[in-house]
Structures are given as C-alpha cells and as structure tokens.
Chains A and B, each alone.
Chain A
Amino acid sequence: MGLPISPHPPAPAGLLDRFAAERVTGALRGPHGCFYLLDGAVTCVEDAAAPGIDVRLSAAGKVPPQGWRYAAERAGPQRRGGQFLVSEGWLTQGELEVCHLAALLDAAFFALPLPPDATSFTPGTAHWLGVVRPVSAAALQQATARRRALLDRLRRWAAADTSPVVAVPTDDRAPAPTSRQRRLLAHADGRRTPYELARTLGQSAFVTLLDVRRLAAAGLVRMPPAPGGLPRRRPGASLDGSAPPAAAGPRPPTWQLPVPDVLHTADPDIALLVRLRTALEENL
C-alpha cells in the first residue's frame, strides 16, 4: 500500500501555516470564511458556502434552530456552547464531535487558501461552541488538498456546481446511484443550486458538489435550459442600425449536458455509415 501522494506539491507556507507555527490563539478571517485557532490548532472553521454544524444538526432533527440560539446565548464568556448542547441532552458528545469535524472539514475546503491581502487576524477570539476537537493546520490542509484533487477529476462538469440542476428521468438500465445521490436527485428540482441543496439537506457542500458532478457525468442530472424568449430591450438601443454597446460584455458561454438518448439509436444504418466513411476517406 503506497502512501497517499499529495496531488499538489506542498505550497509555500500559507497564512494558516504561519499562524499555526506561531501557536497563536484568535480568529483568522478571510473574505468569506473564518478560522478559529487555539495555540495554533484549528478549533472551528466557518464559511459562507458550507452549511454549518447548526444547519446540519437542525436538518438531522437533533437540535432545533431555537435551541441553537439558546445555546449560543448560554455559552457565556467561557465559550462552552458545545458542552451545553450535550448537557441538555440534545446530542451525545460523540455526535457533537463527528458533526463538528465534518462541518469543519467542509468549511475549510471553501475557505482555503486564505488570501494574504484580504485576511485579518483578531487575537484572543474564540468560537462560542468552544473547543470540541482541535485539528492541526497541516492535517487540515492535507485533507483539503485530497478533496480538491477528487473534485478536480470531474472538472469537465464544474459548470454544474452553480447551476440549479434537474434530475433526468431514466430507465431501469441507469446505474443505481448511492442512497445519498438518490436523496439529492429527489431534491434536484431545477430551482436550487447544489450549494442550496446542501443547505436544505443539511449535508456537506463539498460532498454535494462531488455528487452533482458525478450525477452530471452519468447523465442523471442536467442543467435547466437557458431562458430563451424575447430579447430584452437594452437602454440606448435604437433602430438606426448602429449597434449599441453590449451592456455587460460578451455573454458567458452557456454549457449544456448532452441529453442522453440523443446519441443512442436503436438501429444505426451501418451500410450508410460505411459509405459515408469511404466517401470521406476518398476526399482526404
């Protein structure tokens, strides 16, 4: 069994490594995410893209949202919110640890790397949840790199990340997705993006992106058709023939997954295809 090979060469020490090496305590706030550190170890990570532990536990029916607010208020200056949740009997210590680490890993994926010019550090700040299970900055970055490599393998379907995907009706021959993917398919209504689906289902945003890309690759989800209809009137547009300047530059290319079945024919006309190939070869 070989050792896992990091897909990317270790980056020159990033901001998180630097703060970890100095064994600081406080909050490292990036453009959309925040790392809470205790003596250089990461105790909590939050990111706008990833459903937090509160969303996860509410979706799992463990802690109602009002219970969560109550715990945040009761955490006090000692920052013992996690212990309060356990002592109230909402969840066990083990469940708290598993959920906390899963949420931390998920948020770190989106919050890393921290851009040096848009990150601020507030010393001494701790998260109200308290220290549940600290993770070393190095282990967290390795884990994130492995996840990134996994998602990068499905880069061709990256456009599905931000699109409100919709399930494609399939026949019985379609490969059976996992139970998590089936749940995702059941919620893929063409209105919610994968990030919103993750929040609705209270599950990892990373895993949702991965599943959606896999489903797109398997032809089980597609992107909704781009809105067509009448062209909008642009301000300044006129009928005198001079083209008005485009308001927002060229339109980004739209990307569509092939509709399955289009490329499948029950009875390909082999003779015609052979004649076609011969004709093409003669013209080479």
Chain B
Amino acid sequence: MAQMETALADAMSNIEGAIGVALVDYTSGMALATLGDHQTFDLNIAAAGNTDVVRAKMRTMEMLELQGAIEDMLITLTAQYHIIRPVSGKSGSGLFLYLVLDRKRANLALARHRLARLEADLEV
C-alpha cells in the first residue's frame, strides 16, 4: 500500500459515483484518512457517527450468537448509498472503510467488489 490517501484516491477513481471515502478507527471514531469534498460532506463527522452503527450491529450479532463476521453494511438513502466495510486483518485491526456513493451514478455490485479489494490492500 502506498500512502493511505493514495490508496483511497486509487479506490475513488476506480469506483464510479464515489463522493467520499474514509478509513476509520471504530473504538475512537477517529478518521485515519479521508478523501472527498469536505464542503458537501464532512467525512470526519460521518466517521465518528458511524462507529456507533458498526458497534450496534456487532453487539446485536453477539447477542444473537450469530457466527460469522460482517463483510459490509449498506445504508440506502434516496440519493446516496453508504457502504461500511470492517477491515478484517488477521488480528482484527479495529478499522472500517466508509464509502459514500451517488446513487444515480453508482454500480452497487461493482462498488462493493472494489471496496473489498481496497480492504485487502489495507490489511496490516
């Protein structure tokens, strides 16, 4: 992986309709890297807020005693898709990727596939 921002920039340019992407630590909500137009969308606030989404889902899975890990989560808005993808890593890195897509331009299946590839790049 090159510089974190470069890895995110590569992913953004490969994903049609991408508005912003962030790599976030989910116990602290701190964005390690963000890329996108901060005028239209504050990725730092989105990063912090979405840690609660990830945590709530993980806790629910624990309570239901569900086996298996979360690959990604999709939140569909009228005009956007938000995809959250935990970075697995062999020791559980505690990071997740957060991708915001323009719903009109995005190809959801392809975006998920590309995000999975970015995740593989980020495993340390």
State how many angstroms separate the Cβ of B62 from the closest Cβ of chain A. 6
Taking a contact as CB atoms under 8 Å apart, the answer to whether B48 and A4 are in contact is yes
Check A207–B7 contact: CB distance below 8 A: no
Q: Which residues of B contact A175 (CB under 8 A)?
A: 62, 65
- Docked-complex contact B29 and A146, CB < 8 angstroms: yes
CA A197 to CA B46, docked complex, whole Å: 33
Q: Interface code A133-147, partner B: CB below 8 Å = 1, 0 otherwise?
A: 101000110111011
Task: Decide if B94 touches A207 in the complex (CB within 8 Å).
Answer: yes
Number of residue pairs A-B, CB distance < 8 angstroms: 95
Within 8 A of A (CB), among B8-46: 23, 25, 27-30, 32-33, 44-46
Which of B25, B44, B51, B90 interacts with A102 by CB under 8 Å? B25
B2 near A93 (CB under 8 angstroms)? yes
Which of the 9-residue segments A198-206, A222-230, A275-283 touches chain B? A198-206
Distance between A202 CB and nearest chain B CB, rounded to angstroms = 8
A165 CA to B19 CA in the complex, in Å? 46
In angstroms, how far is the closest chain A Cβ from the Cβ of B75? 9
Interface residue? A262 (CB, 8 A): no
A142 contacts which chain B residues (CB < 8 A)?
Answer: 29-30, 48
What's the dominant secondary structure at chain B's contact region? mixed
1/0 contact trace for A103-119 toward B, CB 8 Å? Answer: 00100000000000000
- Indicate which residue in A4, A173, A203 contacts B49 across the interface (CB closer than 8 Å): A4
Chain B nearest CB, measured from A11 CB (Å): 17
How many A residues touch B, CB cutoff 8 Å? 38
* A97 part of interface (Cβ distance < 8 Å): yes
Q: How large is the interface on B (under 10, 10 to 19, 20 to 34, 35 or more residues)?
A: 35 or more
Given contacts A94-B122, A150-B27, A180-B91, contact A3 B49 (CB under 8 A): yes
Q: Which residue of A lies closest to B45 (CB)?
A: A3
Whole-angstrom CA separation of A142 from B6 in the bound complex: 26
B110 at interface by CB-CB < 8 Å: no
Residues of B44-87 at the interface with A, using a CB-CB cut-off of 8 Å, are 44-46, 48-53, 62, 65, 67, 69
The reply to whether B27 and A206 contact each other, CB–CB distance below 8 Å, is: yes
Q: With the chains together, A140 CA to B29 CA distance in Å?
A: 10
Tell me if B2 and A94 are in contact (CB < 8 A).
Answer: yes
Q: Given A2-B49, A146-B51, A201-B91 in contact, is the A97-B32 Cβ separation under 8 Å? A: yes
Residues of B within 8 A of A154 (CB): none
Q: Does the CB pair B45–A92 fall under 8 Å?
A: no
Assess the B67–A203 pair: CB atoms within 8 A: no
Query: A139 near B30 (CB under 8 angstroms)?
Result: yes
Contact of B65 with A176 in the complex, beta carbons under 8 Å:
yes
B120 at the interface (CB under 8 A from A): no
Please name all residues of chain A whose beta carbon is closer than 8 Å to the beta carbon of B52 when the two chains form the complex: 4
For this complex, 5 residue pairs linking A to B, each with C-beta atoms less than 8 Å apart, are A93-B3, A98-B93, A101-B25, A105-B25, A180-B92
Q: Which residues of A contact B (CB under 8 A)?
A: 1-4, 60, 92-95, 97-99, 101-102, 105, 133, 135, 139-140, 142-144, 146-147, 150, 173, 175-176, 178-180, 183, 201, 203-204, 206-207, 210
